[in-house]
Amino acid sequence: MLPSETAETAESTVMVEPSTPIKEPPAPAPAKMIADLDAPAEPPEAVVVIAPQDETNIWFRIQRQLMMEAPEVPRVISQRDWYLRNPAYMERVAKRAQPFMHLIVEEIEKRGMPLELALLPIVESAFDPFAYSHGRAAGIWQFIPGTARHYGLEINWWYDGRRDVHAATHAALDYLDALHTMFDGNWLHALAAYNSGEGRVRGAIRKNKRAGKPTDFWSLDLPRETRAYVPKLLALADILKHHETYQYSWVPIDNQPYLAVVHAESQIDLAKAAEHAGLTLEQLHHYNSGYNRWATDPQGPHRLLLPLENAKQLETWLASSDAKDWVQWTRHRVKNGESLLVIAKKYHTTVDAIRQANGVRGSMIRAGEYLLIPVATRDLTDYSLSAEQRLADTQATPRGQHKIEHQVEAGDTLWDISRKYNVNLRALAKWNGMAPTDPLRQGRKLVVWLPEDEKPSGVIRSLSYRVRSGDSLARIANRFGVKIADIEKWNQISRKNYLQPGQQLKLFVDVTRLNSQS
């Protein structure tokens, strides 16, 4: 994890625009000897000026266009020291960034924005396309759902645009540009707002104005995470800008395109795309982490990012093949009682995909008729970076001595479940690839990890119990084989208070040991 911020005093506003260095007057030329005066003058050596875009290493291309100064304040110093002490971390990040950095830098330059922004995914996600935060933010640019949709990123069963590096980069720069305008050209305010929301930064500015205090970033009362967030970016830029001074080597990344965009006309199975591009399925899915399932969304996009040579190979196959061969099809005979939803779940697709493939309107289907269903060409476990397989891997990762499953009942929340098992809420969410505020779907199975001294037994289910006339906490606890203290904890009530008939209580019970009289 990155270091926590340290205490600091208010400093002067950070300079955003590049300043023109003050040049010292040239030293007087030494007096020439008389014999030299008659000597032919030597032609001056030609000075070769290399444009930033012509650098061989993309880090130097970024370095030569950095605009923001990092003040020597404790918040920046502590972040810079952490990065300098952890070169292995930065090496891992640089390797993740390598395929994507060129397209990001190109887009930033095209818009005339500060090149410091190319370093922002390091702060946001360590350049992990599958990063998911406790605040429900996803992808290398860490978009939350609401902001993502506002800036045109689709999020559905098939596809999550927040993890699509190509789409999310454009959306992130759109958002940052809007914030820069909103905060009157102040990039530090814009960056703080990207992290904690424009409303919070505006409120902090207004508060300082009313109190007669400075309104520069360093003077604002902002959340702890945001107070460290901007210094992290400035520290990274400072290390890159003065890498020789710090004797710090950045893992080289070639300053040339690595990925090309390939557009398919309709849904394509990722396994087929990988096969005809000459890549492994995992490689292709890593470059295209926005796709949640085994294929692109039937409604699009069908865009794929691939290394240059592999992109050419895939384009050649797409041009010579029929779109109906880009996915595999099976004929399904509708049985009595089946619905489109039941059929869709069986074949790991969606109702809309079946409707689209068969020209079906509404939900009416008849027993005996046949439907064409798009299906994966390979076993679903082979799609190791799909949402299902990533979740399965996450839930299988040992986090304690004992693993139990909890099946979500109507009304369950992660907070309820964390209290039931006496585990940390954020830990519970992490074990299940979720954020603490994510909604729960009834029937979903969650894993709970417990230490050695809390070995579970039986099958735990949550129940909603309606209090009857004459009930007491003791009577209810005895009926369901639980403790009065647990009922109090689960429902935030006290045994000192009377229960009211009709009152709903949440209970977590071992259904294998329920008293037969209950």
Q: Tell which phi-psi region holds residue 453, choosing left (phi > 0), alpha (psi between -120 and 50) or beta.
A: alpha
Burial of 442 (0-12, 13-18, 19+ CB in 10 A): exposed
Question: Residue for token digits 């939900």?
Answer: 363
Of 86, 75, 354, 363, whose CA–CA distance to 218 is shortest? 75
- 506: β partners: 464
The predicted structure's pLDDT at residue 14: 36
pLDDT classification of 460: cutoffs 50, 70, 90: low
**Sign of the alpha-carbon dihedral angle for 447, 449, 452, 456:** negative
pLDDT classification of 443: cutoffs 50, 70, 90: confident
Cis peptide bond prior to 252, omega within 30° of 0:
no
Report the C-alpha gap between 89 and 454 in whole angstroms.
35
Q: What is the mean pLDDT of residues 167-179?
A: 98
Return phi, psi of residue 219, to 5°: -95, -5
pLDDT exceeds cutoff 50 at 463: yes
Report the C-alpha gap between 481 and 518 in whole angstroms.
10
Which range has the worst mean pLDDT, 9-13, 115-119, 411-415, 490-494? Answer: 9-13
> Which tokens sit at 188?
């530090």
> Could you tell me which residues come within 8 angstroms of residue 464 by beta carbon, excluding any fewer than 6 positions away?
409, 410, 411, 504, 505, 506, 507
Q: Which of 5, 116, 124, 154 is catalytic?
A: 124
pLDDT classification of 513: cutoffs 50, 70, 90: low
Report the C-alpha gap between 383 and 397 in whole angstroms.
18
> Which tokens sit at 220?
């604002």
Contact indicator for 513, 468 with CB cutoff of 8 Å: no
Return phi, psi of residue 475, to 5°: -65, -45
Looking at 365-503, which runs of residues are DSSP E strands?
Answer: 370-375, 402-407, 445-450, 460-466
Query: Is 198 tagged catalytic?
Result: no
Report the C-alpha gap between 290 and 155 in whole angstroms.
9
> Could you tell me which residues come within 8 angstroms of residue 288 by beta carbon, excluding any fewer than 6 positions away?
164, 270, 304, 305
pLDDT exceeds cutoff 90 at 455: no
Give, in order, the Cα–Cα distances in Å from 218 to each of 14, 198, 207, 214: 9, 16, 14, 9
Contact indicator for 65, 255 with CB cutoff of 8 Å: no
Say if strands 328-333 and 370-375 run parallel, antiparallel, or are unpaired.
Answer: antiparallel
Report the C-alpha gap between 414 and 136 in whole angstroms.
14
The predicted structure's pLDDT at residue 502: 84
Report the C-alpha gap between 185 and 16 in whole angstroms.
9
For 120-164, the pLDDT digits (tens) are 999 999 999 999 988 899 999 999 999 999 999 999 999 999 999
> Which tokens sit at 480?
């369901």
Say if strands 303-307 and 328-333 run parallel, antiparallel, or are unpaired.
Answer: unpaired
Amino acid residing at 240: L
What is the length of the chain?
518
Question: Residue for token digits 């007491």?
Answer: 472
Integer-rounded Cα radius of gyration of the chain: 30
Contact indicator for 446, 471 with CB cutoff of 8 Å: no
Cis peptide bond prior to 44, omega within 30° of 0:
no
Quote the crossing angle between the two packed helices 224-241 and 187-196, to the nearest 10°. 130
The predicted structure's pLDDT at residue 456: 55
| Residue 174 CB coordination number (10 Å) | 14
Report the C-alpha gap between 248 and 328 in whole angstroms.
51
> Angle at CA 320, nearest 5°, toward 316 and 321?
115
Report the C-alpha gap between 418 and 413 in whole angstroms.
9
pLDDT classification of 465: cutoffs 50, 70, 90: confident
Of 188, 246, 229, whose CA–CA distance to 11 is shortest? 188
Contact indicator for 390, 283 with CB cutoff of 8 Å: no
The predicted structure's pLDDT at residue 168: 98
Report the C-alpha gap between 326 and 376 in whole angstroms.
10
The predicted structure's pLDDT at residue 44: 62
